[in-house]
Amino acid sequence: MDKPISLSVKDYLIRRLAPKLMTSEKTIEAVVNHQFQSANEAMHSNKTVEISGFGKFLFNDGKALRKMDTYKNIEKALLNTLSKPDLTEAKKRATLLKLGTTRSNIELLKPRINENHQFFPDLRGVEEQLSAAQEDQGSDTKDQRIKAPHL
């Protein structure tokens, strides 16, 4: 059975899985929501997320840079609109709402890329290497480490 156009993927999954697993739709919905939330959180902290049997999702750095530039240009245009003296109250509210949305989009994208358009290097494990190197540099560090109580 193909997914009807009127149903979202999430609703389709819930309706298909509930009868097959003989479980309530409410339980299946909780599991599906948790999986989507976990995948979304993983995507924010990693460059790729792979869901077995479903697909691999990649964070595109170039696309993120272009999107950030677009957001910055929109922000400038909205600020220029707000500086106009003949702005009606309704137009001002709408512009402020768009500006807030644009700024929140910028803040969501910022951790993934920095302002200089340089990508954050992968530093996993570097801290461990530095601390190990610092411990070997002097006997004072070793003595302090030995004297420190272990919890």
Do 71 and 106 touch, CB atoms closer than 8 A?
yes
The SS3 call for residue 96 is helix
pLDDT band at 125 (very low <50, low <70, confident <90, very high): low
| Res. 138: pLDDT tops 60 | no
3-state per-residue secondary structure call for 12-63: HHHHHHHHHHCCCHHHHHHHHHHHHHHHHHHHHHCCEEEECCCEEEECCHHH
Query: Phi and psi at residue 144, in whole multiples of 5°?
Result: -65, -35
Looking at the chain, the whole-number percentage of residues with pLDDT higher than 90 is: 41
Q: What is the per-residue pLDDT across 7-21, written as a single tens digit (0 to 9) for each? A: 888 899 899 999 999
The dihedrals phi and psi of 141, each to the nearest 5 degrees, come to -65, -40
Residue 90 is predicted with a pLDDT of 94
Segment (H or E) for 57: strand 55-58
Helix/strand/coil for 5: coil
